[in-house]
Amino acid sequence: MRPQTLAPRTLRKIRASSGIDNQPRLGDSSQTLQRNPPRSLPTNRHRSEAASTIGLALPDPTDPITNPAARTPAKVVGIVGEPESPGSPGSSNAGNEGSRGGSNFDTVLGKLVVERGLMSNEELDQCNSEQKTRSAGSAPVTLAEMLVEREFLTKRQVERLRGDIEAVKTSQQIPGFRIIRKLGAGAMATVFLAKQVSLDRLVAIKVLPKKFSANQNFIERFVREGRAAAKLSHNNIVAAYEIGQSGEHHFFVMEYVDGDTVYDRIVARKRVPEREALEIIRQVASALQHAHEMGFVHRDIKPKNIMMTTGNVAKLADLGLARAMSDKEAAEAESGRAYGTPYYISPEQIRGSVNIGPPADIYGLGATFYHMVTGKLPFEGTTPSQVMHRHLKDPLVPPDHVNPKVSAGTALIIETMMKKDARDRYQNARDLVTDLELVIAGKDPEHAKPAVDIATITSAINTAAQEPVAIVRKESTTSFASLPAILIMGALAVGNLVLLVIVLLR
Ligand SMILES: Nc1ncnc2c1ncn2[C@@H]1O[C@H](COP(=O)(O)OP(=O)(O)OP(=O)(O)O)[C@@H](O)[C@H]1O
Ligand SMILES: [Mg+2]
C-alpha cells in the first residue's frame, strides 16, 4: 500500500472539509481530486475545480450517448445461494465496444467536463476543432489528451472518468435492473441504486473494475464467497441478492440501504454520542456473531462498511465481498494504488497471519467504536506503514483519556476489543454482545479484561522515564507524601538546637 500523494492544497481542502482527521484519506473518493493543479489558471477554472473536488456526476442514464441502444445482455454468473445459471452465450464483451478511447469516449468526456463546470462550451468547441485539425495532420491527438495538455484535467481524472463512464455503461446492461443513480464509489468499485424490475424493488449494485476479470482465482473466490454470503440471513447484515458479469465487469446485487454510513456520522458530528455508538456496535456485534457462527470472517470492518437505515438499524456491508477482495490477488491487481485504509486493521492481518479468525473482526469493530466515541482514530500516521506499525507496537491511548465523557465500562470494552494479542481479546462476538448489553443496562461488563496489561505498564514506565524534569519537580513540591519527612527533619533540627543551647549554658 502506498499513501495518496495529493497536492498539499488539495489535502488541506479535504482535511478541512472532512474534519475527521489530519491524515491523507487512503483509497476513498478523494482520489478523484486533481493531484497537480496547474499553477496559473483562469479564475473561472479555479472555481469549477473547487466545485468538483468531491465525486463526479455521471452521465444521465437516459442520455442516448451514455446509454447506447444496442445493449448486450449480461452474463449472470449465478444467483447467490442458487445453482449456477448458464448465462447467455456470447454475451460477455460486446457491450463495452468502443467505450474506451476513440470518439465515443471523447464525446461523453467532453459532455461531462462541461456539465461539471470544468470548462465552458466555448473552450470545449475550441479544443474539439483543434483536435480535429491536429488529427487530420501527422500528429493525431484525442480530446482526452488535449484536455490534459491544456490542464483542464489531470491524467488521473481522465482515468477516473473513464472508469466511471464504463461502470455506468456496464451497469445499464445488467438485464432485469434499471439503473437510477450512482450511490457512491470506494477505492475498488462503484455502487449504483437500481430497480429490480421483476420484483419492483430498489437494490444496490456494486460494479467491480475490469481488472479483476483477468484473474481466474479472484473470480472463483468472488462467486464462492458471494454464494456463501447469501447463506447469511440477519437483520444487521446487508443481504446479498445476486452476483454476475456484464461485459468484463463483475457485479454484486445487494439490499439497498436508504440512509448514511457510520463514517458519514463521524464526519458530520465529529463523534457519535456514546449511547448511540453502543447501540450501533451492539447490532454489528450481533451481525458478526451470526457471520462467525456460519464460518465467515469479514476482515474489513470499518465505519464505511456499516450502513444505517433511516430507522437507525445498522447494516454490515460487504460481507463475502470483503474477503474476496482483500486478498493478495486483489492487492496485486491494484498494484501501485492504495487500497482500503489501515486505520482499523488487526495486528494479525498486518502480520499476514494465515489464521484470521473472529478476533480480527472484533479488533476492527473496536477501532471503529474508538473512532466513534472519541472522534479520533486509534492510531494515526503519515503513511500506511506508520499506521500499521503503531497498531503493532504502540499502546492504545485509553478512549476515556481522549474523551473523558466515555464511561469506564465502554472504555474497558473497547480496550479489550483492541488488545494487540488476539488471545487477550473477546474470543467471540457472543461475549462482546453480552458485555455491550450489560453496559447499555448500566452494569459492569463481565468478559472485558482489566485495562492494564504488560504493554501498558511497559509504556507507562518508559513514558515516566522520559518525562520532563520540570514536571517531576513540580509534582515533588506538591506531593504530600514528603510531609512526615519534613516534620521529622524539623523536629530533629529543633532538638539539636535545644541541646546546643543547654551545652553552651553549662
Ligand atoms: N447496500 C448499499 N446501499 C446503499 N448504499 C450503498 C450500499 N453499499 C454501498 N453503498 C454506498 O456506496 C459507497 C461505496 O461503497 P464501497 O463499498 O464501494 O466503498 P466503501 O466501503 O465506501 O470504501 P472502500 O472502497 O474503502 O471499501 C458507500 O460509501 C455507500 O455510500
Ligand atoms: Mg464498502
Q: Are residues 335 and 424 in the same domain?
A: yes
Q: Are residues 251 and 303 in the same domain?
A: no
State the first-to-last Cα distance of the chain, in angstroms, to the nearest integer. 89
Is residue 40's pLDDT more than 70? Answer: no
Q: Which of 255, 270, 299 is the last residue of a domain?
A: 255
Helix (H, G, I), strand (E, B) or coil at 192: strand
More confident of the two residues 188 and 419: 419
Among the residue ranges 117-121, 314-318, 498-502, the one predicted with the least confidence is 498-502
Backbone angles phi, psi at 192, to 5 degrees: -120, 150
Is residue 191's pLDDT more than 70? Answer: yes
Is residue 280's pLDDT more than 60? Answer: yes
For 187-191, the CB contacts below 8 A with 24+ separation are: 187/26, 187/27, 187/28, 187/31, 187/334, 187/337, 187/338, 187/339, 187/340, 188/27, 188/325, 188/330, 188/334, 188/339, 190/163, 190/164
Q: What is the pLDDT of residue 463?
A: 57
Q: Are residues 202 and 306 in the same domain?
A: no
- Angle (CA) 394-395-397 rounded to 5° is 120
Query: Residue 189 domain-assigned?
Result: yes
Write the pLDDT tens digit of every residue in 87-113: 222 222 222 323 333 457 788 888 888
**How far is CA 427 from each of CA 90, 388, 417, 433, 444, rounded to the nearest angstrom?**
49, 22, 9, 12, 19
CA distance 428 to 285: 9
Q: Are residues 248 and 187 in the same domain?
A: yes
Residue 150 grid coordinates: 491544456
Q: What size, in residues, is the chain?
A: 506
Query: Residue 33 domain-assigned?
Result: no
Q: Does the CB atom of residue 277 touch ligand 1 within 6 A? A: no
CA distance 437 to 9: 45
Q: Does the CB atom of residue 274 touch ligand 1 within 6 A? A: no
Ligand 1 atom nearest 339 alpha carbon: 26
pLDDT-based confidence at residue 274 (cuts at 50, 70, 90): very high
Beta strand 306-309 with 314-316 is antiparallel
CA of 113 to the centre of ligand 2 (A): 27
Is residue 489's pLDDT more than 50? Answer: yes
Q: Does the CB atom of residue 257 touch ligand 1 within 6 A? A: yes
Q: Are residues 350 and 274 in the same domain?
A: yes
Instruction: Write the burial class of residue 89 (CB in 10 Å: 0-12 exposed, 13-18 middle, 19+ buried).
Output: exposed
Q: Does the CB atom of residue 340 touch ligand 1 within 6 A? A: yes
Average pLDDT score over the chain:
73
Q: How many domains does the chain have?
A: 3
Q: Which domain holds residue 431?
A: 260-440
Name the residues annotated as catalytic: 300
- Which ligand places an atom closest to the C-alpha of 315? 1
Average of per-residue pLDDT across 497-502: 66
Query: Residue 490 domain-assigned?
Result: yes
Is residue 504's pLDDT more than 80? Answer: no
CA of 51 to the centre of ligand 2 (A): 25
CA of 90 to the centre of ligand 1 (A): 31
CA distance 419 to 290: 22
- Angle (CA) 265-269-275 rounded to 5° is 75
* Contact yes or no for 290/232 (Cβ under 8 A): yes
Q: Are residues 464 and 316 in the same domain?
A: no
Q: What is the pLDDT of residue 457?
A: 58
Residue 249 grid coordinates: 465487469
Q: Are residues 379 and 295 in the same domain?
A: yes
Is residue 468's pLDDT more than 50? Answer: no
Among the residue ranges 58-72, 294-308, 352-366, the one predicted with the least confidence is 58-72
Phi-psi region of 176 (alpha: psi -120 to 50; beta: other; left: phi over 0): left
Q: Does the CB atom of residue 263 touch ligand 1 within 6 A? A: no
State which amino acid sits at residue 205. I
Q: Are residues 338 and 354 in the same domain?
A: yes
More confident of the two residues 121 and 42: 121
- Which ligand places an atom closest to the C-alpha of 188? 1
Write the pLDDT tens digit of every residue in 385-399: 899 999 999 999 999
Is residue 14's pLDDT more than 90? Answer: no
pLDDT above 90 covers a percentage of the chain that reads 35
pLDDT-based confidence at residue 501 (cuts at 50, 70, 90): low
